[in-house]
Amino acid sequence: MMKKFVCETCGVQYPSRFVEPEECLICNEERQYVHPDGQSWTTLEEMIARNIYQNEIKQDEDQLFSIKTLPHFGIGQTAYIIQHADQNILWDCITYLDRKTISHINSLGGIDAIALSHPHYYSTQVEWAEVFDALIYIHEDDQEWVTRQSERIIFWSGEHFELSSGVTLHRLGGHFKGGAVLEWQQGNDGKGVLLSGDIIQVVPDQNWVSFMYSYPNLIPLPAEKVREMAERTKLMKFDRIYNAFHRIVKTDGIAAVDRSANRYINAINGKLFEI
């Protein structure tokens, strides 16, 4: 019987096949990792049959909902739904999708488009797109990391892509070459929201952010790349930042990115502390 295997470490799904893949393209790379106990696989059907997972859907603010799987699965990221104008946009994706989740999301108006920050959160994006009859938007610089192809995937190019008036994807790179963030100008009562994945990572002190090439392996980005990313955000409209793990810079987000970039650069250049 053919199965669409899912990597248990990163949660990304592969095309139908009879036997498990030998390795995970996403995990077998320096920005992620193969679990110390070895590569392991499951399927979405097996996850549902185990009856231990559920998706928690919360309203974070007007027209913004978060979706997270409990207990933790894979990387454990949070996805978000923006209700904007006449469409619902899913930002990033999670692996687990069951009938209860589908029913809840349909009660919110379904999903019209799925936009991704980078490959670690591709998960079961094609399953979601097929269930909700949605298109998937991924920057073309990251197309080599797509494990399950689909005619629903649109590879956008350039530095900006407008999904809808006031909702724009920006390629910042850094963590991945095609790494993207989503600027939602009408969010947060018109002050603007940035959904950053972990292209810009909100840290435990949620007045600050950081930037990395690899988070699990603690590989930093060059100072000049971080400065470029911070300068790009100054051209956007947002006051609040949501990252992939539901950490939130509640206000003055552009200034938080700028001062965090300065701290990061000073640290990289050895100017933050004595060694």
Token match 């933050």: residue?
Answer: 272
Instruction: Provide the 3-class DSSP secondary structure of residue 22.
Output: coil
Q: So what's the pLDDT on residue 274?
A: 62
Distance CA 49, CA 55 (A): 15
CB atoms within 10 A of CB 12: 28
| Cα-to-chain-centroid distance, residue 228 | 20
For residue 213, the one-letter residue type is Y
Sign of CA dihedral 199, 204, 210, 216: negative
Averaged over 219-233, what is the pLDDT?
98
Instruction: Provide the 3-class DSSP secondary structure of residue 239.
Output: coil
Averaged over 128-149, what is the pLDDT?
98
64: its two tokens: 């913004």
| Cα-to-chain-centroid distance, residue 232 | 19
Q: Please list the helix, strand and coil fractions of the chain in percent, rounded to the nearest 5, in that order.
A: 20, 30, 50
Q: Residues 167-193: pLDDT tens digits? A: 999 999 999 999 999 999 999 999 999
Q: Residues 27-83: pLDDT tens digits? A: 999 999 999 999 999 999 999 999 999 999 999 999 999 999 999 999 999 999 999
Distance CA 112, CA 88 (A): 5
Q: So what's the pLDDT on residue 229?
A: 98
- Average pLDDT across the chain, whole number: 97
Measured CA distances, 37 to 40, 47, 105, 264 (Å):
8, 20, 35, 34
Token match 């407008």: residue?
Answer: 162
Whether this model's pTM surpasses 0.85:
yes
Query: 108-126 in b/e burial notation, b at 16+ Cβ within 10 A?
Result: eebbbbbbbbbbbbbbbbb
Token match 């399927």: residue?
Answer: 43
The number of helices, as runs of H, and strands, as runs of E, in the chain is: 5, 18
| Contacts for 190 with CB less than 8 Å, ≥ 6 apart | none
**What percentage of residues in the chain have a pLDDT greater than 70?**
99
Does the pLDDT of residue 272 top 80, yes or no? no
- Expressed in angstroms, the distance from the first to the final Cα of the chain is 59
